[in-house]
Amino acid sequence: MTHQVRAVVARGKGAPVSLETIIVPDPGPGEALVKIEACGVCHTDLHYREGGINDDFPFLLGHEAAGVVESVGEGVTDVAPGDFVILNWRAVCGQCRACLRGRPWYCFDTHNAKQKMTLTDGTELSPALGIGAFAEKTLVAAGQCTKVDQTASAAAAGLLGCGVMAGIGAAINTGNVGRGDSVAVIGCGGVGAAAIAGSNLAGAAKVIAVDIDDRKLETAKKLGATHTVNSKDADAVEAIRELTGGFGADVVIEAVGRPETYKQAFYARDLAGTVVLVGVPTPEMKLELPLLDVFGRGGALKSSWYGDCLPSRDFPMLIDLYLQGRLDLDAFVTETIALDEVEKAFERMHHGDVLRSVVVL
Ligand SMILES: NC(=O)c1ccc[n+]([C@@H]2O[C@H](COP(=O)([O-])OP(=O)(O)OC[C@H]3O[C@@H](n4cnc5c(N)ncnc54)[C@H](O)[C@@H]3O)[C@@H](O)[C@H]2O)c1
Ligand SMILES: [Zn+2]
Ligand SMILES: [Zn+2]
């Protein structure tokens, strides 16, 4: 059997997205069909639409989602129909060299559904990050479904599926922020704001938010930033050093994805400190740094894919913290919108008007 559902499709480079009817197959072995309840609009969806990821149009966009499992294919035992799940783009394989070494959060061979979803004329769709959740239903690998407490709001829970997890994980997993650390976060959109919340959860003593937009700095304060710097008016590196006794922060998280902000992060950290790059650069960007500074300042320069998260470990834990009132996921939801408003949400994102627009179905 197949299912005809409404979904948001990007047909060509830079062209506005369109609401289309798509065909979703019943789950085969190892797959799950999920009825989507909410899906956040992430910058990466816009990257796809602009052809910045690859040219495999048409894309089925959307990948920060929560929903309910409708049916599962043969051999699926981890999730069952009726389960409330967050979709993830790291369904670990258990077999690759990273998994075999006990580091599944680096898994190099993650699973997606084998069967293809298509347009009504049979054209195969490329689901964003192997998910494709701006749709009433989507087909994923069962391992992409992580069961969490069903009392959580779907709009908030879904955000853990990408950007918010990436930010929290950049702080707690990749940056290894600990009690008493000083942290600076450059770029306070959805991802950077989450890095601030994550640093707070980890017990950072000082959390400095840096952005060029005062609106973002206001939200950063609500999520636990102890200091804010508008780097349009002030030199970010000097400001961070001033706020840290002249030394720089223990951990600096770059959540913009540009060479100039990476350089700020590099020089705004203390000796032996850590830089985490969680912002995603574009292919033409280049970085130039004196190699002697890279050596001489010591410490660690790391990048963070999906916050080095392990969905089965991190999603249920963060949802529990959310339900206990210790992690304000609702603060990331600026607005809820309908499925046909994704293009408008891209525009608002482009103008910096939102932390997250979330499609609610
Ligand atoms: N590593 C991952 O796994 C992962 C996952 C999701 C998103 N991302 C990436 O993280 C980045 C941020 O995503 P987002 O959803 O928060 O985007 P966003 O557009 O909501 O936020 C970007 C923020 O950076 C600020 N900014 C822009 N230029 C700046 C500058 N020169 N100095 C300081 N601040 C500046 C903007 O004002 C904005 O607040 C993007 O590159 C996105 O692709 C990475
Ligand atoms: Zn693996
Ligand atoms: Zn994303």
pLDDT digits (tens, 9 = 90+) for 306-333: 999 999 999 999 999 999 999 999 999 9
Task: Tell me which of 3.40.50.2000, 3.30.1330.30, 3.40.50.720, 2.50.20.10 is the CATH number of domain 167-305.
Answer: 3.40.50.720
- Ligand 1 probe mutation, 39, 43, 263, 277, most atoms within 8 A of CB: 43
Q: What is the mean pLDDT of the chain?
A: 97
Q: How far apart are CA 315 and CA 146, in angstroms?
A: 7
Q: Which ligand 1 atom sits closest to the C-alpha of 307?
A: 3
Q: Where do you find CATH 3.90.180.10 in the chain? A: 2-161+328-360
Q: Where do you find CATH 3.40.50.720 in the chain? A: 167-305
Q: Is 279 in the pocket of ligand 1 (CB under 6 A)?
A: yes
pLDDT in the model for residue 192: 98
Q: Is 280 in the pocket of ligand 1 (CB under 6 A)?
A: yes
DSSP-assigned beta bridge partners for residue 86? 66, 146
Q: Work out the pLDDT band at 134, boundaries 50, 70, 90.
A: very high
Q: Which ligand 1 atom sits closest to the C-alpha of 43?
A: 15
Q: Is the pLDDT of residue 52 over 90?
A: no
Q: Is 352 in the pocket of ligand 1 (CB under 6 A)?
A: yes
Q: Work out the pLDDT band at 335, boundaries 50, 70, 90.
A: very high
pLDDT digits (tens, 9 = 90+) for 179-220: 999 999 999 999 999 999 999 999 999 999 999 999 999 999
| Per-residue buried b or exposed e for 325-361, using 16+ beta carbons within 10 Å of the residue's own CB | eebebebbbbbebebebbeebbebbeeeebbbbbbbb
CATH number of 2-161+328-360: 3.90.180.10
Q: Is 354 in the pocket of ligand 1 (CB under 6 A)?
A: no
- 147-164: average pLDDT: 97
Measure 283 CA to ligand 2 centroid, in angstroms. Answer: 26
Q: Is the pLDDT of residue 271 over 90?
A: yes
Q: Is 217 in the pocket of ligand 1 (CB under 6 A)?
A: no
Q: Is 297 in the pocket of ligand 1 (CB under 6 A)?
A: no
Q: Which amino acid is at 306?
A: Y
| Per-residue buried b or exposed e for 123-137, using 16+ beta carbons within 10 Å of the residue's own CB | eebbbbbbbbbbbbb
Please tell me the residue having the least CA distance from ligand 1 atom 21.
189
Comparing CA positions, the residue from 221, 297, 292, 296 lying closest to residue 265 is 297
Q: Is the pLDDT of residue 105 over 90?
A: yes
pLDDT in the model for residue 282: 85
Q: Is 256 in the pocket of ligand 1 (CB under 6 A)?
A: yes
Q: Which ligand 1 atom sits closest to the C-alpha of 306?
A: 3
pLDDT in the model for residue 283: 85
pTM: 0.96
pLDDT in the model for residue 155: 97
Residues with a beta carbon under 5 angstroms from ion ligand 2: 93, 96, 99, 107, 109
pLDDT digits (tens, 9 = 90+) for 233-254: 999 999 999 999 999 999 999 9
Q: Is the pLDDT of residue 111 over 90?
A: yes
187: left (phi over 0), alpha (psi -120 to 50) or beta: left
